[in-house]
Amino acid sequence: MERSYLFIFTLTTLISFYSNAQEKISPTQEEKEVKVLNFNNIKSVLKNDGLISKKNEKEKLVTKIKEERKKILIEKYSYPSEEDFYKFLTELWLVRNAQVLQWDFPKPEYGIEIAFKGLLEKIGYYNKKIKILMVNSPVISHFALPLGNNEFVFLVSLPFIRTMDLTKVDIALLLLEDYFRLEQKLFINNINVDKTIFDKNFLDETFNKKLIPETLESYSRVILKTGFNFQQQFEITKKMNEVLTSDQPLWGAYYKLLNKIDRLIKSDLLFKDYLKIYPSPELQLQWLKPKKDIL
Amino acid sequence: MESMIRFGFVILILSFNLFAKDEEVGRLYYKNFLGHVHENPSKDSTSKTVVQCSHSVKLLSSKNKIDGWVYVEVGEDKGYIEEKHLVVKRPDCLQQKYPKFYNQLDLNLSEMYFWGRLYDHYFEVETRIK
């Protein structure tokens, strides 16, 4: 009997002790609410849940998207790079002068491009993209224009090569001269282009409306009227001499070609303007003549 | 009765040939700035329509295959394009690279025609190391 009383007493003592302990540890409803309202506690909860880092990530993503969209918009309004600009403008000039140049006519394969390719490869000019456009007009004899990175278009007049009775080697040599003019950026230096536009955009400003017509006008002036000066011609003749000296038959062909042109422009009125563009075959011959040693 | 069957058979074959469609054999992209779909496989043949760079072109099977040319369908027009102007992957085009600058060129129909004709008239080569 005594034992059972002792057991009941111990049990009630333990229960009361436990319930007291429970009251001390668990917070009240208000305490709970305060805890919930405590920003620092929310912050810690958010932090623990990874929500803040997610929010930061999202903000970063939104900023990146905004930057990318702005970049795309700027790209849309970009002026072309220098190379792309000349590709646009060269072809636009050819298109707008199609009636003057008369290049849209049926023609057979002349094989000039093969001869020119062979010459360039022979003297070591590789990875050059060559386009040849035959024109059926004497307003141009031959001329090369830039078409982008390592890409060039060579205009060749059919009346000119017929009147001159030029061989493929002769034509290839003329085109080589033209190639050197492009390589030395003589054409680009002679035309007036607003070079400040390259790699810029016109998103926040109005497009320079004069840019295209003025550049095309400049193209026409150089190609049809002014061409190259004596100094530039001297540089080109010197370069041709340097490159062809090691190949005497080619050097001889070039010398004969200049003689032929010199005779033609002095006798045929149709090509009297040749001198304005390429001065002057007579001087070129003098520059090429080997100097005699005075004993 | 036999002649009727024969007659019906002939009519069936004829109608099959009449309504037979050109079979699509693949798709390629036009790579130049602008170009032409020609009526015949020749550079000087009439232009049926103008195509722009990166335009998807449906290749059709053709009975008369001519070296260097493919028979294509562009929109509602069928005709020929030189094979060298077409590529497998969508090319990078200046029109798409600089769309606002391209708009400033303000090309009219005649200029678009001539621009396409340029690529018909170019004689193209590329120098390489032997």
With 70 as the cut, is the pLDDT of residue B3 above it? no
Q: What is the pLDDT of residue A23?
A: 47
- Scanning A116-175 for CB atoms below 8 A from B yields 116-117, 120-121, 125-134, 153
Domain that includes residue A48, residue range: 30-76
DSSP count for chain B of H helices, then E strands: 4, 8
- The segments of chain A whose pLDDT lies below 50 read 23
- A114 touching B (Cβ < 8 Å): yes
- A55 and A96 belong to one structural domain: no
Q: Do B126 and A91 lie within an 8 Å CB cutoff?
A: no
- B114 touching A (Cβ < 8 Å): yes
Q: What is the pLDDT of residue A141?
A: 94
Q: Do A110 and B129 lie within an 8 Å CB cutoff?
A: no
Give domain status of residue A195, yes or no: yes
Q: What is the pLDDT of residue A15?
A: 62
How many domains would you assign to chain A? Answer: 2
- A277 and A164 belong to one structural domain: yes
Asked which of A76, A102, A130 is the last residue of a domain, the reply is A76
Query: Which is more confidently placed, A69 or B65?
Result: A69
- B92 touching A (Cβ < 8 Å): no
Find, in chain B, the residue whose alpha carbon is nearest to that of A216.
B105
- B130 touching A (Cβ < 8 Å): yes
Domain B22-120 - what CATH class?
A: mainly beta
pLDDT in tens, A193-224: 888 898 889 988 899 899 999 999 999 999 99
Asked which of A45, A76, A107 is the last residue of a domain, the reply is A76
Read off the DSSP letter of residue A102: T
Question: How far is A295 from chain B, CA to nearest CA, in Å?
Answer: 46
Q: What is the pLDDT of residue A169?
A: 95
Q: What is the pLDDT of residue A37?
A: 59
Q: Do B126 and A128 lie within an 8 Å CB cutoff?
A: yes
Give the closest of A76, A95, A126 to B129, CB-based: A126
- Paired residues of B59 in beta bridges: B26, B72
The domain ranges of chain B are 22-120
| Whole-number Å distance between alpha carbons of B37 and B73 | 9
ipTM: 0.84
Residue A168: exposure state from Cβ atoms within 10 A (0-12, 13-18, ≥19): middle
Q: What is the pLDDT of residue A167?
A: 94
Query: Which is more confidently placed, B11 or B3?
Result: B3
pLDDT in tens, B6-40: 756 555 554 545 445 678 889 999 999 999 999 99
Q: Do A98 and B99 lie within an 8 Å CB cutoff?
A: no
Q: pTM for the full model?
A: 0.81
Q: Do A128 and B127 lie within an 8 Å CB cutoff?
A: yes
Q: Are B30 and B55 in contact (CB under 8 A)?
A: yes
pLDDT in tens, B75-128: 999 999 999 999 999 999 999 999 999 999 999 999 999 999 999 999 999 998
- A201 and A184 belong to one structural domain: yes
pLDDT in tens, B32-53: 999 999 999 999 999 999 999 9
Query: Which is more confidently placed, B104 or B129?
Result: B104
- B84 touching A (Cβ < 8 Å): no
